[in-house]
A = this chain, B = another copy of it.
C-alpha cells in the first residue's frame, strides 16, 4: 500500500510540471483540490477498515447512524437518501441489507401508504453502541498534534468550501 505522503509529494511535482506547460492553471487551488481528494480517500479507507469486522459498508453505516441519531429512531427511504446523499436505488439495497440483519425494520406508513417507515431496532441500537467506541482511539490518532485552533480553522475552512461547492452545483446540475 502506497503511503499518502509519498503520493502527495509526487502530486506536488506533477502539478509543478503541468503548471509550467499550462501557466494559466490555478496551481495552488488545484493542489488543494487534489489534497482534499487524497485525504478524503485516506479517511474513507480508514473507515472501511474499521467497519470491515462488522461487515458494514460505508453507506450502510452512515444510514444506520442517521437512524440512531434521530430522536424517534425512524425515517423514510426518501429522507435517508437526502441526508446520506445516496440514490433511491441504493437506499433500497441498504435497507434490505440492514433489515436482513435485524438492525432495522420496514413498515408501511399509516398516513401515506406510498411511504415506507424505516426504524432502528433495539438490536440496531445495541449494535451501534458496541461498534462505535472501538473507533475512538483511531479517530483521536488522526488528529494528533492538532491544536484546538487547528481544528477550529479546519472546520471553518471546510464549511466555507462546502458553501462554495453548493453555489457551483446550483448553477450547473440543479
Contacts and interface: CB of A to CB of B under 8 A. Distances in A.
So how many copies of this chain end up in the complex? 2
A35 interface: yes
A36 B40 contact: yes
A145 B165 contact: no
A82 interface: yes
A63 B155 CA distance: 31
Interface in A3-48: 3-5, 7-8, 10, 13-15, 17-18, 21-22, 24-26, 28-33, 35-47
A167 B146 contact: no
A85 to B, nearest CB: 6
A85 B142 contact: no
Interface of A: 1-5, 7-8, 10, 13-15, 17-18, 21-22, 24-26, 28-33, 35-47, 49, 65-66, 68-71, 82-83, 85, 129, 132-133, 136, 138-146, 150-151, 153-155, 157-170, 172-174
